[in-house]
C-alpha cells in the first residue's frame, strides 16, 4: 500500500485505530508472559 492509498483508506486516526483493532481481534491477542487472553482497556496513551 502506498501513501496515497493509505490516506484514502484511513482518512483519520480513528479509522486507522478501528482497522488495527479489527485485525488484532481477528488474529487473537495472547500475553507473551502468561499466555492469558483476557483484555483490559486501560485508557489512552500517547506515544
pTM value? 0.56
Q: 2-22, pLDDT tens digit by residue?
A: 899 999 999 999 999 999 889
Q: What does pLDDT average to over the chain?
A: 84
What contacts 33, CB < 8 A, 6 or more positions away? Answer: none
pLDDT at 26: 87
pLDDT at 18: 92
**Distance between CA atoms of 36 and 24, rounded to whole angstroms?**
15
With helix as H, strand as E and coil as C, how does the chain read? CCHHHHHHHCCCHHHHHHHHHHHHHHHCCCCCCCCCCCCCCCCCCCC
Residue 45 has pLDDT above 70, yes or no: no
Nine-digit cell at 19? Answer: 482497522
Cα 4 to chain center, whole Å? 21
Amino acid at each position: 500500500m502506498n501513501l496515497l492509498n493509505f490516506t484514502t483508506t484511513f482518512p483519520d486516526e480513528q479509522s486507522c485505530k478501528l482497522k488495527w483493532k479489527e485485525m488484532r481481534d481477528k488474529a487473537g491477542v495472547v500475553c507473551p508472559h502468561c499466555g492469558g487472553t483476557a483484555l483490559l482497556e486501560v485508557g489512552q496513551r500517547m506515544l
